[in-house]
Each structure stands twice: as structure tokens, then as C-alpha cells.
Structure 1
Amino acid sequence: MHSEKIPFSMARLDDLLDDFGIDVLIVTSKHNIQYLLGGYYHFQFDFMEAIGISRYLPIFVYVKGALDKSAYIANRNERDSIQNRTSAGYWMPTVVFGSSTSVEAMTLALEHVKSAATSALNVGAEMSFLPADAADVLRSELPNCRLVEAMRPLEKLRSIKTAAELEILREASERVVASMMDAVSRTRPGQSKRKIIDHLRQAELSRDMIFEYALVTIGTNLNRAPSEQRLEPGDIVSLDSGGNYRGYIGDLCRMAVHGAPDEELVDLLAEVDLIQQAARAPIRAGLTGSDIYAAAAEALARSPHGKQMHFVAHGMGIVSHEAPRLTASGPIPYPADDASVPLEAGMVISIETTLPHARRGFIKLEDTIAVTPDGYQAFGDGSRGWSRISG
């Protein structure tokens, strides 16, 4: 073991594990491993898992209340990455090398679990990130254990960001917006949607980000997938992009138009912005997610196009939709487990309002809001009006 600072709150994690009845965590998702290891990075975190006859499967084992019994099960080719990490002074648990397949990784993890804890266990596992063959090994080697879904306690652990995490999220948001403005400056009539997305990709890459996605519309077409559709004179463009910076998502939406926006376009975007401002205005620690939706609903009821608009608010951080989970009726359905729970300082909320206008096109703003004790901070909050495409 190492004496360096532990990158997560053991007390908070242990309390969450108590709440969910978990004795031992077997973490297999790359995003949660990256979080628990304080930003540890191996190149296979970014790329496909397939390798040789199996897949890359990192595993972090955590025994509740016993940090000294934790372990990281590493692939054979991770030695250099881990050496660089520890040489730089970062904490790492005991590292067990030797896996090349998912079965080998789980076998090594369970050997460690058996040496560190009793056989009658409540084992927390991320079912969506547990390969079938590794799950078979787990059930075979620990036949008396009770498997408990660990996704929820892990995302609740991540939901309150540290000051360092908030700074990364601020930077991620600002870099995404700057990349959008860079893409707008390079866009010209006649270019395809694929070309515009490529402008955005290159802009994010040039800012040391990993480009994850771009949802783009042109003109009155509401289709946001990449295509050969061409930008025509006077068309509007919506840019909704997720860029990953040091493991955290910058996810915002901004609008552009070729030439100058007419009065109607100015009014429509202002109408969308009024919903955004109404939703963010009451945000502070102690407010509930349902209060955000109530504020947005009041503004939508007064808006001329309120019945056509779609509003959603959701937690974000390492994952673009994570705790706090505030609605069960958004574009990505999940239980609204946190809708009536008070927000806490350090939580980060994405708020987004969309107007799919049949005659003018897809008009949307998406903003990133960090909850503070007495209010909020907006990250990447520039360029919220109509950015102009020249040429």
C-alpha cells in the first residue's frame, strides 16, 4: 500500500455500502475505476475492449472499512502505466498483474477476495459491466455470496464533486463551447453535416479533449445524426456536443446561423433562454430536483411555444447522465430516485430546453450548472446567442 492521499471519501463510500447491504465491491466499469483510482489512465480506457481471445477487464476490489485490503487487478500490459502513476506520487492499492482475459481477471480478483474477507458475502457488482464469463466465475467461486447491484451507490458517491473535479468540469465545458465557436468559424455554405461535425471533432482534439459525440441539425431538418445534408444560405445550425476532458464530460448546446438571424429567430432563441434562466434561477443547495422542474414548468406555461418545447434536467460528471437523477420522463429514461431529495453543494446539473420548430428548425440551449451552498455557478456559459456563419 501507499501513503498518498486517497482520491475518494472512504467514510461516504462505507456509508453507502451499508445503505445498500454490500460488504465487498467488485468494480469492473472503466469510469468508476478511473474515479476510485483518482484519475488513473490506461490507453485501453479510451478504446475498444477486444484483445486476443477475450477482452480487457480491469477490476478494483474494495472491502468495506478495510482500505488496506483493496486491490487493483491489472492487465499484463499495464505495468508501465501503473509505474508512471505511482512514480508521480499518486495512490494505488495493491496491484495484481497477470490477466489477459476476463476470466483470468475475475479469477485473480476472487483469489484476493477470499484472502481478504469471509466467504459468506454480500458482493456489489456492476451488472451492466460484468461479462457473462466473468459472472459465471464469480458465482462458481463464491457460491454463497449474494450479488447486489452496485451502480447506484457508486454513482451517488460520484455525485458530489470535489473542488478539483469541479475545475475539470468547468474547463471541459469551456473547451467544448470554444470548440463549437471554432467549428462555426470554419463552417461555410455547401459543407455537409459530416464536415461540420469533423470541424468540431478537430477543434475538441486540438484542445486536448476526447471527442465523444456531436448531435447536429441544419436548417429545418430535425434529424441530428451525421449525414451528407448541405448547409444552405440562411440555414440555422444546432451544435450539441460531448467532449471528454481528463475523464469528465463537457456537454452543451449552442446555436448558429448563416448570415444574420431575423427577428423571429432572435425571439425564438430568447424564448428558449427564458426557460433556461427560469430553471437555473432557484438552484442552490437544499433545493430539490422537482423544484427545478416546477420553475421550468411555470416558465413553459407562460411561453408562446411552451407546449412545443421539451425541458430536461439531469446530473452529469464522468457520465453524461448520472446522479442526481431528477426525472423519469427524459430522453434517457431512468427512475427519478433523486427528484425529491435536496441537492447538495458540489452536484452538477445539465439543464436543456429544446424547441423543435416545424418551420424554423431545431432550436436548443443546454447549460452546465454547479450547485453551491447559496446558489449556482454556470460553466461554459458564453456564446448563448446566435453565432454567425460567414461566407
Structure 2
Amino acid sequence: MEERSAMSDPWDPTALRTRLEKTTNLADDAGLDALLVTPGPDLRYLCGYEALPLERLTCLVVRTQGDPVLVVPRLEAPAAAASPAGALGLDVLTWDETADPYDLVASLLPDVRRVAVDNHMWAEKVLNLRAAMPGTEQRLAGDVLRELRMRNGPAEIQALREAGAAIDRVHDQVAQWLRPGRTEREVGADIAEAIRAEGHAEVDFVIVGSGPNGASPHHEVSDRVIGPGDPVVVDIGGTTSAGYCSDSTRMYAVGEPPADFLAYYDVLQRAQAAAVHHVRPGVTCASVDAAARQVITDAGYGDRFIHRTGHGIGLETHEDPYIVTGNDLPLEPGMAFSVEPGIYQPDRHGARIEDIVVCTPDGVEPLNTTTHDLVILPA
């Protein structure tokens, strides 16, 4: 089979080598001698290796003076070689069970002054690396890597499109599972099964918040029985086999919902549309948040919008850039993030509408296309 191009495959060797080269240059510009990256999204981003997060040390050493080196336990070497990292031509150093891998990493970095560790590194490993390199300053690698990860290339955007389409197909089926007499947990189980069936390798979360549970933004599922007239928040997402995430929230009601709910749902629709319409290169993350927040505040619900308007998405569901008051980062083409204002009435009900969007050279591309209207189901 012909090898896919870097344009269509985020794990193509050419794409990965470019990431490593850019990372090395950014680390050098930041005055770092090396980045130390252990299993997690940063490791996969840089070399394509989705390593197991184990007590044994796996560490990608990205040196500003010298080529990158992948340090792995000997028993994990076949898995590393079988991953996209195996096609990169990286130097791979293995260590045996009785060896000290932290000393091995330190030996690759003589006379270093400043290193950065990935933001997801276990504290145990951070401290062991510190002990192996006494006097070396440790910083967070996220300060460098976020500059790359929040600017998606064409292959990454296509992977996010595919994830968005997959979660839309799940929302298209939710109506068949929501009905009076079923519990949130039962509905959530059906949704989780569909998330996998529609193209996700993993189910990351399922929120089915009926009635008063909808007023808790991160409620998941419970044994509450869905009743007639209940508004239901359905916020769902997963990770595809390509490693990229989906996240979309839609609103449903089982029978006619309360009048006060309908009154603010209209406000929420207008707020979400205003924020999406505002997205374009050069505007700030904070201004997108403000576009949604102003509509909700003007309608008298400002104190019921209790979270930021959005978060970046890619190899993680939540990553930079964050769409929040105070973040004056200007948007650039390739930045992907959620737009998800919400209004929550404690002990009664709540509502949220969420799309993933991508900033394009001339505006915005929503990656979720199912209806924003309230879907009213038979009671």
C-alpha cells in the first residue's frame, strides 16, 4: 500500500520530524538544554509513540545540542519500534531491569543547566530526574509544546473533522434512547456503545444530565429516572484511533419542557451563535468568550453562566487555547476549540450548546453540524 502523505496522516514520519525540529528550535530559543517527555499526549505528539504509562521510565530526550534520543525499557523496545516512532530513525537506548534509567538520561545531558519536563510527568519521575541531575533547573515543557500543539496542521484538522463527524452520528441516534422511565445511566450506556461503534477507539466521557442534574456542568450519569418534561443535557466525546478527540453538547427534552427553560434556551442559542460568528484570525480568545457572555448577561442570566466559553482540543479534550476572560492570545488559522456557553438554574435544570470549531484564514469552520434547536421527544 502506498504510504499516506503528511497532508493526510498526522503520524507520517515527515510530519513528526518537522515537529521534533520545531520543538528543538523553540526549546533553544527558551534557553533550555533539553525537553524530557514521558508517556502521554506530548510523547505521542512528538514521535507517534503511544507508550503505556508504567513505573518503568520511558523518556524522549529532545536535546538542543544533539539529536533526540528515546530511552525505553528493553521489554518495551518492540512496541516502540512498531509505533510511528520506529520509522523516524531515532536513536533508541534500552535499559535492563537492574539498570538506573535516570542515570542513563543524565548521561545524555552532561553539563546541562536547564531542562523542561512534560506537564503530565509523574511526580516520582520528576523527582528521580532531579536527583540524577543535581543543580539542574526544571521547568515545564508545556510552555514550549503548547506553542506547537495549539496550531494544527491540515492532517490534524482533518482528524478533528472526522472525530466531529463521528460524534455527530451519535447525537443523531440519541432520540431513540431518551424516554420517560429510563435512567441516565441506562441512556449513557447506549451512548457509550454508539461512540465506539461510530468510529472512536475510546469513550472519554458521557454526560446525561436530566432535570436538576443538568444544572451541574460536569454531572456524568446517575440512577435518576428521566421523567416527562425533563430537559436533558447530553455532552459526549471520545478519542478516535488517530488519537484526536471529539466533544459536542446538544439539548433534548422529553415532552414539553418548562416555560422558564424555553425562555433562556433561546438566549443560549443566540449566545453560542454570536461567539462562533466572532471567530476569525486576530481576535482574542477573551473576545470570543465576551461575545457569548454579553448576550447572556444582557438577557439577565449572567450569573448563571459559570464557566469559560471554551477549551482547545486535539490529542486531549482540554488543552490550549482556552476561550476565557483574560486570555488575550490572538486566534490563528489552525487553532481548534470548543464554543460552549451554558446557563444553569440550580435545582431546576440547565442547558449548554457546544461545537468544536477551527479558526480558518478567513473565519471559522464548525466541525459539528447537528441542529442547535432543542430536540423535543415524545413523553
TM norm structure 1 = 0.82
Query: C-alpha displacement at 1:191, in angstroms?
Result: 1.4
Gaps of 5+ in 1: 329-335
Question: Distance in 1 between the 2:347 and 2:84 partners?
Answer: 58
**Partner of 1:321 in structure 2?**
318
Distance in 1 between residues matched to 2:344 and 2:163, nearest whole Å: 27
Paired with 1:306 and 1:205, the residues of 2 have a C-alpha distance of 37
Match in the other structure for 2:72: 74
The yes-or-no answer on 1:379 pairing with 2:367 is yes
1:204 maps to what in 2?
195
Q: Is the 8 A contact 2:20 2:46 kept in 1?
A: no
Q: Counterpart of 1:172 in 2: which secondary structure? A: helix
Equivalent position of 2:209 in the other structure: 217
Residues 280, 362 of structure 2: 8 Å contact kept? yes
The amino acid of 2:371's aligned partner reads S
Matched letter for residue 114 of structure 2: N
For the residues of structure 1 that align with 2:300 and 2:112, how far apart are their CA atoms? 61
- Aligned counterpart in structure 2 of residue 357 of structure 1, from 326, 331, 345: 345
Residue 354 of structure 1: how far off its partner (Å):
0.9
**Residues 263 and 169 from structure 1, CA distance in 2 versus in 1: closer, same or farther, beyond 3 angstroms?**
same
Query: Would you say how many aligned residue pairs link Structure 1 and Structure 2?
Result: 361
Distance 2:347 2:68 in 1: 58
Distance 1:197 1:153 in 2: 38
Q: State the match for 2:9 in structure 1.
A: none
Per-residue deviation at 1:275?
0.5
**Root-mean-square deviation (Å):** 2.8
Q: What corresponds to 2:156 in structure 1?
A: 165
Alignment of 1:288-303 (within 5 A): 288-303=284-299
Distance 1:252 1:293 in 2: 17
Query: 1:202, 1:295 → 2: CA distance?
Result: 36
1:237 aligns with 232
Residue in structure 2 matched with residue 255 of structure 1 by the alignment: 251
User: Does structure 2 retain, via aligned residues, the 8 Å contact 1:286–1:344?
Assistant: yes
Q: Quote how far apart the aligned CAs of 1:33 are.
A: 0.4
The reply on whether 1:305 has 2:296 as its aligned counterpart is no
Is the CA contact 1:30–1:58 (under 8 Å) kept in the aligned structure 2?
A: no
Question: What amino acid is aligned across from residue 234 of structure 1 in structure 2?
Answer: G
Partner letter of residue 284 of structure 2? Answer: T
**Residues 1-391 of structure 1: pairs in structure 2 closer than 5 A:** 4-7=13-16, 8-10=18-20, 12-37=22-47, 39-42=48-51, 44=52, 49=53, 55-64=55-64, 66=66, 69-85=67-83, 90-98=87-95, 104-111=100-107, 113-114=108-109, 118-126=110-118, 128-132=120-124, 134-209=125-200, 210-221=202-213, 222-223=215-216, 224-245=219-240, 246-259=242-255, 265-310=261-306, 311-327=308-324, 339-358=327-346, 361-390=349-378
Q: Whole-Å Cα distance in 1 between the matches of residues 207 and 96 of structure 2?
A: 38
Give the conservation status (yes or no) of the 8 Å contact 2:183–2:224. yes
Identity among equivalent pairs (%):
24
Compute the displacement of 1:10 (Å).
Answer: 4.5
Distance 1:288 1:155, change over 3 A: same
Deviation at 1:265, TM superposition (A): 4.8
* Cα distance in 1 for residues equivalent to 2:135 and 2:276: 49
d(CA) in 2 for partners of 1:109, 1:275 = 51
CA pair 58-10 structure 1, distance change in 2 beyond 3 A: closer
Q: Are residues 207 and 146 of structure 1, via their aligned partners in 2, closer, same or farther at CA, if it must alter by over 3 Å?
A: same
Map of 1:333 onto structure 2: none
Between stretches 203-212 and 380-389, larger displacement belongs to 380-389
TM-score, with normalisation over the residues of structure 2? 0.85
Whether the 8 Å contact between 2:229 and 2:258 is mirrored in structure 1 is no
CA offset digits 1:343-376 (Å, max 9, x no partner): 1111112111111135751111111110111101
**Counterpart residue type for residue 324 of structure 2:** T
Distance in 2, Cα, partners of 1:73 & 1:62? 11
- Match of 2:305, as an amino acid? M
**Paired amino acid for 1:289:** C
- Residues 18 and 305 of structure 1: CA distance in aligned 2, closer, same or farther (over 3 Å): same
- Cα contact 2:178–2:254 (8 A) shared by 1: no
